[in-house]
């Protein structure tokens, strides 16, 4: 994600001031943090040299894991390992019920009608879970840059409503992170691809992410973006592709679709791995329990066709 140099009206950054700000891509599946250093935008790596942070949070009785270690425990500890929490941001209990069996969690609700996820550390809201991801990114950035951040620009789907945007700001506040701006993801994509350096024109940004879908029509005039129209679906993305493949696997294996949380996570991981392999090959061998079969790219395309059609309406 390219970063914008932002100053408040009437103010300009002073060369002698060392003010540290970052850009954060808070994604459904993965997140990352980047900074502008010596005029070059670069993602910031953790101590292991990894740039991508899986958007997974695991609650232990006395501490919290975020990232790869948490993601690895999704099948073995499904009730305390939260993934794809972005799909729950700013949503009410009724919205969560509509997602049905896609969410292998134990939910409760408070007086605010916000859904809470029951964990070994007690009930956690989607805002609190997202705050753990943002906190990990803030701590990484401060360690790499060598100082305290003054704030961050955080990307959000263009189709996020006010409640979802406020939930993102609340998560940042819990993570002790000042939000300089919320930047629509399609606009961030346009800047990242250098479209702001084009002369002028109208472009469509089709952004199908891990859990949300955005379509934005932008007009570019002298380096300025004007948003002509936005649309999308905050409950459509790669996660739904995984569920479609998982359903296909269970049907082929003659297995029940009514799974316990651990088994559901196991099948979804098999499905996700198969999906990723199909980016490189036309067929992939799939194994689940005592069954094994072959998933072709053609079959995969058939499975996701209704969702792609839904995005193009």
Our answer to whether residue 148 is catalytic in this structure is no
Tally of CA atoms within 13 A in the half-sphere of 61 that contains its CB: 0
DSSP 190-226: HHHTTGGGSSEEEEEEEEE-SS-EEEEEEEEETTEEE
Of residues 80, 81, 86, the one with CA closest to residue 67: 81
137 vs 53: CA distance, rounded Å: 8
Which of 65, 71, 86, 124 is the catalytic position? 86
Please give the backbone phi and psi of residue 98, each rounded to the nearest 5 degrees, phi first: -65, -25
Our answer to whether residue 185 is catalytic in this structure is yes
Question: Rg for the chain (alpha carbons), in Å?
Answer: 20
Which of 132, 207, 214, 242 is the catalytic position? 207
Which of 185, 239, 240, 266 is the catalytic position? 185
Q: 218 - beta bridge partners?
A: 203, 227
- Nearby residues of 119 by Cβ (< 8 Å), 6 or more positions away: 59, 79, 80, 82
Q: Which two tokens stand for residue 243?
A: 């569920």
Which of 25, 239, 240, 266 is the catalytic position? 25
Of residues 92, 65, 90, the one with CA closest to residue 156: 90
So which residues are the catalytic ones? 25, 86, 185, 207
């Amino acid at each position: 994600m390219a970063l914008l140099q932002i100053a408040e009206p009437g103010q300009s950054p002073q060369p002698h001031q060392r003010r540290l700000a970052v850009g954060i891509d808070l994604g459904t599946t993965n997140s990352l943090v980047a900074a502008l250093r010596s005029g070059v935008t670069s993602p910031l790596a953790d101590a292991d040299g990894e740039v991508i942070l899986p958007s997974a949070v695991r609650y232990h009785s006395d501490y919290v894991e975020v990232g790869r270690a948490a993601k690895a425990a999704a099948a073995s500890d499904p009730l305390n390992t939260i993934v794809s929490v972005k799909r729950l941001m700013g949503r009410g209990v009724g919205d969560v019920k509509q997602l049905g069996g896609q969410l292998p969690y134990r939910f409760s609700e408070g007086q605010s009608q916000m859904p809470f996820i029951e964990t070994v550390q007690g009930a956690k809201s989607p805002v609190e879970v997202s705050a753990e991801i943002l906190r990990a990114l803030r701590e990484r950035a401060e360690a790499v840059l060598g100082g305290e951040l003054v704030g961050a620009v955080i990307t959000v789907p263009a189709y996020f409503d006010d409640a979802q945007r406020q939930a993102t700001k609340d998560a940042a506040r819990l993570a002790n992170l000042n939000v300089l701006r919320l930047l629509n993801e399609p606009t961030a994509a346009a800047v990242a691809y250098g479209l702001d350096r084009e002369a002028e024109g109208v472009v469509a940004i089709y952004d199908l992410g891990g859990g949300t879908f955005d379509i934005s029509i932008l007009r570019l005039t002298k380096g300025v973006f004007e948003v002509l129209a936005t649309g999308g679906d905050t409950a459509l993305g790669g996660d739904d592709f995984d569920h479609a493949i998982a359903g296909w696997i269970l049907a082929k294996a003659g297995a029940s679709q009514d799974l316990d949380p651990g088994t559901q996570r196991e099948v979804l991981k098999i499905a996700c791995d198969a999906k990723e392999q199909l980016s490189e090959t036309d067929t992939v061998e799939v194994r689940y329990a005592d069954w094994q079969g072959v998933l072709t790219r053609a079959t995969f395309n058939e499975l996701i066709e209704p969702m792609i059609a839904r995005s193009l309406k």
